[in-house]
Structure 1
């Protein structure tokens, strides 16, 4: 899923300035360039309530790299990482790539966290619990109380809470974002992941950042230095320009996405008789459960071939039972969204009801 807009003009201006300094063509600091780190510190304090006492920030090549860095720092082969279902597939793959074991924990019918189910899944090999809010693939926004509960049980169990907040700016209605890293006493066991890919239209520029306990900083630097050395300096310079513009840039763009979202939800009313459509108050996804005996992969394939509309099957997000589909609308204009949903609705009716 991507947003349909690009970076602000201030980011483009910084890219043009980049070539005026020959030193920009050398390696940069592994953790990120100082001007960007300073801006990130200010943003984290002002927008997330995260103070950097006893913490460090590392600029990464996207939030996915931050997640992989975290695993390198905290886990050994055979260790376990708890992923609520449905999971984000890149995280499940990263866990397996490091020869660790993903442990899946069900969410409720509206894809909200169940802290006691997470507690029951903890073992002596657990190294982390992952939460993604606003959520990919469901669009669910986790409430503050459940995130506090998960963070507390991680502290109690001596494991890390990895909080993926890549979609923090994409909220609708009364939904509010909460950063577990803002909790008093969370600094020793909380790893927070962020990204510019969505909010600032930076998907191809590969800039994210992670906030971690001081104790993990040497291991994270070692992992990043081995794999990347540093996030591309030209992208970091562009990120300086984006952050100087600020998150108001995303809020302005969000108005258009919110209008597209309304089109999507209105069109989906026509299938509510045979589809469960939970609230999706964040990100830019809708995750529906279709009442059919057909598998999600088969249904997705037939929707593409027979009705010209693409969705991602729930099996890609770890849901083997039941037929789930993810709809992404972040890059769609109003006319495209309307046509796509018309095809989806007619396709679902033809394939499921006829």
Structure 2
């Protein structure tokens, strides 16, 4: 019998699949493609950061060499200091690992928690790369349905915990749903995970674009937070460093020591220039980042304000926040057929809900994700006109 490889155990990368829908399609100058498929900035870092990065390239010899596996020590210290202040808790540099993007932080967390055959609870709709990594690691994806609110239920999660469950994963603000999980909901999942002796992994890639003020949860105020919590973060969205691959994993030192084994065998160390850029950004771009957040919140408002035109045509807005709006469509076809049709008929590229759901969950056939971070208020209006 032919053996199935790790990569064959999962599906093709969704964003790459969606790009193939563009092949052979011509877009006119007066109706260019509106691409709302990928949740990543398309602009380079701001000019002051580019100048700082150029100085690093020319003047910092260490930026061109191998560095510590767990990351650049000054960046680890800066994360610890800013996290302690932002969350009102105690985070030390020894709690911080810098990774080659947040996807690698998730992979490292799973590597230090799970063996093949173990189980991880993943709310659906899920971030597809999380599911892909679980598949390739031989870890069972225990799908937790969130229903029309897109908010996971701790009691339902408790009923799905098995002897092989090693972690619960939350993403807030959520990808793909856009919803911001209330602090008391996050705390309930933390208490559930602790009671069962499993980890709570919280991916806060989009925390810089949360509409709320103050800390989004109080988990770091618990003096023993690190016995349960693993937090993931990405510098890519905040400072437009997507191509430099810089993320973070915040956890107890013992877990980071296990993650170090994984990281050392995959990349040896994170991108050195990217790490120094992230540090410079944290120390110098606070006001600029506040402006970026205000712009994203304005685009979110444009989605909510303009959506009644789509609602009149049978669309439903399930969630909206950070970079995303998650919607249901009114058409008599599954979303994986509608999405390429929208490319041809409306010059709009977005991802179907089937990419964020297990095949057995048919809700994804009515759902679509709109990643609106790269279209401004006028672009949102044009998008809605085409969809109408």
TM-score (norm 1): 0.91
Moved more, 255-264 or 234-243: 255-264
Correspondence for 2:55: 17
Correspondence for 1:335: 378
1:27-106 to structure 2, matched below 5 A, reads: 27-52=66-91, 56-106=95-145
Correspondence for 1:351: none
Residues 54 and 245 of structure 1, relative CA distance in 2, 3 Å threshold: closer
Task: For residue 23 of structure 1, report the CA deviation from its aligned partner.
Answer: 3.3
Alpha-carbon deviations, 1:271-296, whole Å to 9, x = none? 2242221342x311110122444211
Task: For residue 3 of structure 1, report the CA deviation from its aligned partner.
Answer: 3.1
1:187-202 to structure 2, matched below 5 A, reads: 187-202=226-241
Paired residues of 1:148 and 1:183 also in contact (CA < 8 A): no
Correspondence for 1:159: 198
Gaps in structure 1 of 5+ consecutive residues: 347-354
> Distance between the aligned counterparts of 1:52 and 1:108, measured in 2?
35
Paired residues of 1:181 and 1:191 also in contact (CA < 8 A): no
Aligned residue pairs total 344
Residues 53 and 307 of structure 1, relative CA distance in 2, 3 Å threshold: closer
Residues 212 and 252 of structure 1, relative CA distance in 2, 3 Å threshold: same
Task: For residue 176 of structure 1, report the CA deviation from its aligned partner.
Answer: 6.5
> Distance between the aligned counterparts of 2:189 and 2:155, measured in 1?
9
1:254-269 to structure 2, matched below 5 A, reads: 254-269=293-308
Pick aligned residue for 1:276 from 316, 327, 352: 316
1:137 partner SS: coil
1:332 partner SS: coil
> Distance between the aligned counterparts of 1:167 and 1:179, measured in 2?
17
Task: For residue 50 of structure 1, report the CA deviation from its aligned partner.
Answer: 4.1
1:234-249 to structure 2, matched below 5 A, reads: 234-249=273-288
Residues 240 and 253 of structure 1, relative CA distance in 2, 3 Å threshold: same
> Distance between the aligned counterparts of 1:301 and 1:185, measured in 2?
49
Moved more, 210-219 or 309-318: 210-219
Residues 175 and 269 of structure 1, relative CA distance in 2, 3 Å threshold: farther
Paired residues of 2:119 and 2:142 also in contact (CA < 8 A): yes
Correspondence for 1:298: 337
Paired residues of 1:10 and 1:242 also in contact (CA < 8 A): no
Paired residues of 2:101 and 2:247 also in contact (CA < 8 A): yes
Alpha-carbon deviations, 1:212-262, whole Å to 9, x = none? 112212211111010001111111111111011244322211222223223
Alpha-carbon deviations, 1:304-339, whole Å to 9, x = none? 111111111000000641300111110113333322
Instruction: Give the ranges of 4+ consecutive aligned residues of structure 1 lying more than 6 Å apart after TM superposition.
Output: 173-176
Alpha-carbon deviations, 1:119-167, whole Å to 9, x = none? 1110000010000000000110000111111000100101100000000
Correspondence for 2:362: 321
Gaps in structure 2 of 5+ consecutive residues: 1-38
Residues 215 and 20 of structure 1, relative CA distance in 2, 3 Å threshold: same
Residues 49 and 55 of structure 1, relative CA distance in 2, 3 Å threshold: farther
TM-score (norm 2): 0.83
Paired residues of 1:30 and 1:225 also in contact (CA < 8 A): yes
Correspondence for 2:7: none
Is 1:215 aligned to 2:258, yes or no? no
Paired residues of 2:63 and 2:272 also in contact (CA < 8 A): yes
Correspondence for 1:349: none
> Distance between the aligned counterparts of 2:168 and 2:270, measured in 1?
26
Paired residues of 2:150 and 2:319 also in contact (CA < 8 A): no
Paired residues of 1:8 and 1:242 also in contact (CA < 8 A): no
